[in-house]
Structure formats: structure tokens, C-alpha cells
Amino acid sequence: MPDKTLKCKDCGKEFIFSEGEQEFYKERGLENEPQRCNECRQERKKQRNNSGGGNRGNFSQGNRGSGRGF
């Protein structure tokens, strides 16, 4: 499995998807190749972490636990 040259969907720069990275993806059952170069992935990750929303997967408590029925 030779290295592949891919094009970043954000900045358009070409980057290498190495043989080792391909094996890593395959071992974990990841079927899609990366779409962003390392720099754009890091920037995107940083933006997500700094977004302040942070409510992913968390549910509002609302009236749960109030002891009332439906």
C-alpha cells in the first residue's frame, strides 16, 4: 500500500496520506480517507474546542427527577 497524495478540502494544499496512516485507518475500520491536511485538522480541532458551545452529547436537566409522572 504506497503513500497517497491527497488534496485538502479547506486550503487546497496537497498532503501525504502515508502507508502507516492508511494501515491505522484500516485497523480501526475507517473507510474514508482524510479530507484535510494536518494543519487544517489542527485548526478545525482548535476552533471546535474554543467554540464555547460544549453541549455535544449533554442533555438539559429540565424537569427530570421531579417525581411527577407523565
pLDDT tens by residue, 36-50: 999 999 999 999 999
Rounded Cα distance between 14 and 19, Å, is 16
- 60 located within any domain: no
User: Is 63 domain-assigned?
Assistant: no
CA 12 to CA 50: how far, in whole Å? 24
N-to-C CA span, the chain: 58
What is the domain range of residue 29? 4-48
Task: Report yes or no on 53 lying in a domain.
Answer: no
Residue 51: per-residue pLDDT: 81
Give the pLDDT confidence score for residue 63 in this predicted structure: 53
Please count the structural domains in the chain: 1
Segment 19-23 shows an average pLDDT of 97
CA distance 26 to 58: 31
For the full predicted model, state whether its pTM sits above 0.75. Answer: no
Asked whether residue 20 is assigned to any structural domain, the reply reads yes
Return the SS3 of 36: coil
